[in-house]
Structure 1
Amino acid sequence: MQLTRHQADLLELIAFHGSYSACLDQNEFERWPDFFLDDCHYRIQARENHDQGLPLCILWLEGRGMLRDRVYGIRETLYHDPYYQRHVISTPLITASNDDEIVAETNYQVIRTKRDQPSELFNAGRYLDRLQRTPGGLKLKSRTCVFDSEWILNSIIYPL
């Protein structure tokens, strides 16, 4: 049975999310920038700001170099209690696609576990993604993590 283009895109996108989540959940942050194009955008933004078209984000990184700098900061300069993350990702909704690009929206939940505390829901929202097709597979052109709550627990250290 031949898959339609939409079905093939969906399977590729699900596999992408699985690899992305595993990278972060296994604390392999050095691999995280490899999921992005060199000229990329990564934002974490409150739903209220996003819905009103306001640009304010709690984190806005432009280019893979800034993502690598964030990883360096996590490993070498930021002081924080280490914690584990577990991503729970919904089935993506592809809103547009062509030969070069996939545009998708995917719900996420991030559960945080500190070594001496019970697990807690840390962040929930949706990824708004533009992914580019490359010879090495899908790469993020932009990812905006739109979180639902007006409040976030402590600070966001690790990528969502």
Structure 2
Amino acid sequence: MKLDFDTWQALVQLQADYAAAVDSGDWSLWPDFFTEDGVYKLQPRENHERGFPLCTLAFDGKPSLRDRVYGIQETLFHDPYYQRHVVGAPVVRSVGDDGIRCESNYAVFRTKLNGLSEVFNVGRYLDRVVSTPSGLKFAQRLVVYDSEMIPNSIIYPI
């Protein structure tokens, strides 16, 4: 894969579209940002830096991503909230036959229906992005959050 200006723009657009989709609450959009065997993991920084594999959430492949969407929409009972992502520009770490490896910082704000907005989760995305016939997709999205303390439940994708 080559990183020319058009590919860079597509990478930035992928990041922006992902944030807009998960902020919209239309969870059916989320799996389509990944390849068929795409991986999504949410992991504390401490575990990531120590090389420990334990993740808060881990999904391998679109079927498991779709299962999470089903859970959000049909089976999980929780106090509903809105979330808003602020995502920094991706920093490209490498470009090769296995895709683009990049990282970007993020902050997610949460607003409960009858409350004030608060900082919900902060960290960085470590991504491997590949080109597909339908555009750039995440082959892997590792979400590494900074705080060891998280709310008692993370329902929605970060």
TM-score (norm 1): 0.94
Secondary structure of the equivalent of 1:71? Answer: helix
CA–CA separation in structure 2 for the residues paired with 1:6 and 1:107: 22
- Does residue 106 (structure 1) correspond to residue 115 (structure 2)? The answer is no
Counterparts in 2 of 1:67-146, with a 5 A limit?
67-98=65-96, 101-146=99-144
Aligned-CA RMSD value: 1.3
Q: Which residue of structure 1 lines up, in the alignment, with residue 50 of structure 2? A: 52
CA–CA separation in structure 1 for the residues paired with 2:23 and 2:31: 15
Q: Percent identical across equivalent pairs?
A: 51
Distance 1:155-1:37 versus aligned 2 partners, 3 A rule: same
Residue segments in structure 2 that go unaligned for 5+ positions in a row: none
Indicate if the aligned counterparts of 1:129 and 1:140 stay in contact, CA closer than 8 A: yes
Q: Which residue of structure 2 lines up, in the alignment, with residue 33 of structure 1? A: 31
- Does residue 158 (structure 1) correspond to residue 135 (structure 2)? The answer is no
CA–CA separation in structure 2 for the residues paired with 1:75 and 1:5: 37
Q: Report the CA distance between 1:154 and its aligned residue.
A: 2.4
Distance 1:139-1:77 versus aligned 2 partners, 3 A rule: same
Residue segments in structure 1 that go unaligned for 5+ positions in a row: none
Which residue identity is paired with 1:118? Answer: L
TM-score (norm 2): 0.95
Indicate if the aligned counterparts of 2:3 and 2:95 stay in contact, CA closer than 8 A: no
Q: Report the CA distance between 1:100 and its aligned residue.
A: 5.6
